[in-house]
Amino acid sequence: MRRTIPALLLATTLALTACGGAEQASTGGLEKPVIKVGALPIPDAAALYIARSKGYFKEEGLTVEPITIQGGAVALPQIKSGALDISHTNYVSTFLAAGRGEKIKVVGDLYGAAPNTFDLMVAKDSPIKAVADLKGKTILVNTLNNIGTLAVTSTLKSAGVAPGEVKFIEKPFPDMGNALAAGQADAAWLTEPFITATQVQPGLRVLADTMTGPTAGLPIAAWMATGEWVAKNPKTLAAFQRAIGKAQKLAAGDRTVVDAIIPTYSKIDQAAVTKIALGTFPTDLDPARLQRVADLMLEFGYLKQPLDVKTLLVSPTG
Amino acid sequence: MSVRAVRGAAGVAAFLLVAELVVRFWLAEGVVFPPPSLVLVEAALLLADPGFLAGVAATLLNWALGLLAAVAVAVPVGVALGALPAAERATRPLLEFMRPIPSVAIIPLAILLIPADVAMKASVIVYAAVWPVLINTLYGMREVDPLAKDSLRSFGFGPLAVLWRVSLPSAAPFVATGVRIAAGVALILAVSAELLAGGSSGIGVFVIQAGSGNRTDLMLAATLWAGAAGLVANTLLVAAERRLFRWHEARRGVAE
C-alpha cells in the first residue's frame, strides 16, 4: 500500500507532463504564447475575462495574464516599455498619442456608448434644469482633455454654450457625488456604475445624456499595441483577435454573460451589475465609425491635424 | 506595558466612536461616506477574500525586496562615506539634490523605463528607502567616539580593525533607526506604485478596482490593512532595536 502512493504520484506527474507537452505542441507557431494584457476593472473589458473563462485563448494556444491598469494614459508607456503586450485604452487617449506621432495601433474595438452610459449629473436640488443653464458653471470630469471633456463640450455646443463658457475640474469618479452634494461644483460627468449608484445616494439627477446627436453611439474603448509589437507578433495578435472576437460576439448578443462575468474581475457586485446601463460591444473595427471620434477631436481642437484613423487600425485577418 | 496597551486601545476606540458620530450625524447633507463600523466589517471580510490576500502578499513581497535592496546599498555606501570624509564631501551636493526629490514623482519614469513589474516597483521603493538608511548611517559614523578610535589605534590596530571593532558597532543603532524609518517609507511607495501603475495584484491594485466599482468602503478597508502592515513592521523593528541595542539606549539614557 505504501508503495502505491509514490507510484500514483509518478503516474500523475507523467500524465501532467504529457499534458503539458501536448499543450506546448499546440502553441507552436505563436511568437509569444504568454502575453500580458492590461485592462481597467470596468464593464468595458468584459470580453477579455469572458474569453479567459470560456477557454477561447487556450484554444488558440495563448495564455493571457490580465493586468489591472490605472488608465489608458498610463498604459501607453507600459506597452512601449514592454510591461504590457496589449492594453485596454480609450480612443481619445489613443488618437491624442497618435497625433503626437506615437507609433500605436488599434487592434480591436472594445466598447461603445449607449443611452445613459455617460451622463451629465447635478445635485438633487440644483437650479440647473437644462444643459444651457451650465453657462459659467463648473463641471467635474475624471480626466481633463479626454473623452469626458470632449463629450461634454459637444453636448454644450448642441445647447448653444461655447467650450470657453464652462470650467472643467478633474476629480475621480468615486468623489464626484460628494463634491456635488457639498457644492464644490455644479455638474459632473459620470459613467456607470456611478450614474446608477449616485441617483440613489446622494440622490443626483441626470441632466443630460452626453452621448446623443453628434456623439450618439460614440466609440469609447479599444485594444492597443505598439506598431513594433504588431509587426513582431502577427500570429499572436491574430490568435488574440480571434479569441477576443468570439467573446465580444457573445457579450454583444447576451447581456447575462456580461452580467455574470463583471463581478469576477471588478468590484461592481452582482446586485449592482444587473441595474446599470451597459454600452455596446462592437464586433468589428469599422473605420467609418471610429473616424467620428477623430473628427470630433479635430473640431474641438484636441487634434491640430486631421487624423486618418484607417492608418492606425490592424483588423483581424480572416 | 499592559497599561500602555489599554490606554492605546482606549485611544483607538475613542477615535472610532468620534469618527462614527461625525460620519453619521455631522456630514453635510447629501455627502456619502462609509462609517468606520462598516469599514471595519468590510476589513474583517477581506481576510476571507483570496484575491485580496494574494494582493497583500504581492505588496509585502515588493516591500521586503525593495527594503532589503535599499539596506544592501545604503549601509555600505554610508559606512564608506562616513569613513572617507573626502568622498563624503565630493558626493554631498549630489546626495542633497537627489534626497528631496519626492519618490512618488519618479514612479512615471520607472514605468516608462522598467518593463518588469516587480523590478519597477522594487526600484522605486529602493529609491525612497535608501535615504533614511544612508543619512542615519552617515550620522552614526560621525558620532563614533574619537577617544575609542584613538585608543585602538594607539594599541596598533589598523584602520579596518578600528572600523570593525569601534565604528560599526557604534553606528549600528543609528543604522537600525534608519531601517525602521525606511520601512515606513518603503510601504508608502509599495502601495503608491501600485496605485499609479496597476498590476496583476496588490493592495494598491485592489484599491483601483474598488474605486472603479464605486466601493469606497472597500477602498478604506484595504487602506486600513496597509496601515496595519506598517504598524506591525514598526513594532517588530522597535522590538528588535531594543533587544539588539539595549546598551545603546542605556548609554543615551532613553527610558521607556
The reported pLDDT for the residue numbered A20 is 40
Q: How far apart are CA A19 and CA B28, in angstroms?
A: 61
Say if the Cβ atoms of B213 and A69 lie within 8 Å.
no
Q: How far apart are CA B246 and CA B13, in angstroms?
A: 33
Provide the ipTM: 0.80
Q: Which CATH class is domain A27-112+218-312?
A: alpha beta
* Percent of chain A at pLDDT exceeding 70: 91
CA separation for the pair B110, B86 (Å, rounded):
32
Residue B27 clears pLDDT 80, i.e. is over it = no
Task: Compute the nearest-CA separation of A174 from chain B (Å).
Answer: 6
Say yes or no to pLDDT of A199 above 60. Answer: yes
**Which residue does chain A place closest to B214, by CA atoms?**
A174
A130, A72 contact by CB (below 8 A):
no
The answer to whether the CB of A92 falls within 8 A of the CB of A147 is: yes
Per DSSP, what are the bridge partners of residue A280?
Answer: A112
Give yes or no for residue A24 having a pLDDT over 70.
Answer: no
Q: How many CA atoms lie within 13 A of B255 on its CB side?
A: 1
Name the residue among B117, B214, B218 with its Cβ closest to that of A193: B214
pLDDT value of position B203 = 95
Give the cell for residue B77. 555606501
State mean pLDDT over B25-31: 73
The tens digit of pLDDT for each residue in A261-312 reads: 999 999 988 888 889 999 999 998 889 999 999 999 999 999 999 999 999 9
Measured in whole angstroms, the distance separating CA B61 from the mean position of its chain's CA atoms is 13
CB pair distance less than 8 Å for B211 and A173? yes
A29 or B255, higher pLDDT:
A29
Mean pLDDT, rounded, for A80-94: 93
pLDDT tens figures, B191-213: 999 999 989 899 999 999 998 88
Please state the rounded mean pLDDT for residues B126-151: 89
Partner residue opposite A83 with nearest CB, options B31, B117, B216: B117
Q: How far is A14 from chain B (nearest CA, A)?
A: 30
Cβ-in-10-Å burial (0-12, 13-18, 19+) of B13 comes to: exposed
Q: Name the band, by pLDDT with cuts 50, 70 and 90, for residue B255.
A: very low
Residues 185-244 of A with CB under 8 A from B: 193-194, 197, 201-203
Peptide bond between residue A202 and the one before it cis (omega within 30 degrees of 0)? yes
- Residues of chain A contacting B205 with CB distance shorter than 8 Å: 68
Backbone CA torsion sign across A223, A228, A229, A232: positive
Which CATH code is given to the segment(s) B34-252?
A: 1.10.3720.10
Residue B66: predicted pLDDT? 95
CB contact under 8 A, B199 and A67: yes
Domain boundaries, chain B: 1-32, 34-252
Spatial CB neighbours of A171, under 8 Å, sequence gap ≥ 6: A140, A141, A142, A179, A185, A188
Angle at A123 between CA A121 and CA A129, to 5 degrees: 70
Residues near B155 by beta carbon (within 8 Å), at least 6 away in sequence: none
Cis upstream peptide for A115 (omega within 30°) = no
- The CATH code for residues A118-215 is 3.40.190.10
Contact B138, B82 (CB under 8 A): yes
Contacts of A38 in chain B (CB under 8 A): 198
Nearest Cα neighbor of A222 from A50, A63, A95 is A95
B11/A contact by beta carbon, under 8 A: no
Distance CA A118, CA A189 (A): 7
**How far is A305 from B253, CA to CA, in rounded Å?**
71
Contacts of B65 by beta carbon, 8 Å cutoff, 6+ apart: B118, B122, B125
**A89 forms bridges with which residues in the sheet?**
A222
Residue type, A144: L
Q: Which residues in B151-170 are b (16+ Cβ under 10 Å) and which e?
A: ebeeeebeeeebbeebbbeb
Distance from CA of A63 to the nearest CA of B (A): 14
Q: Is residue A71's pLDDT more than 80?
A: yes
pLDDT the model gives residue B250: 56
Distance from CA of A118 to the nearest CA of B (A): 15
Domain limits, chain A: 27-112+218-312, 118-215
Nearest CA to CA, how far is B190 from chain A (Å)?
A: 15
**DSSP β-bridge partners for residue A90:** A221
User: Taking the CB of residue A301, how many other CB atoms lie within 10 A of it?
Assistant: 10
Query: With a CB-CB cutoff of 8 Å, which residues 93-112 of chain B face chain A?
Result: 108, 111-112
Q: For residue B220, which of A73, A267, A170 has the smallest C-alpha distance?
A: A267
Q: Is the pLDDT at A12 greater than 50, yes or no?
A: no
- Pairs of CB atoms within 8 A across A/B: 95
The continuous run of DSSP H or E covering A205 comes out as strand A205-209
A8-17, A64-73, A82-91, B70-79: least confident range: A8-17
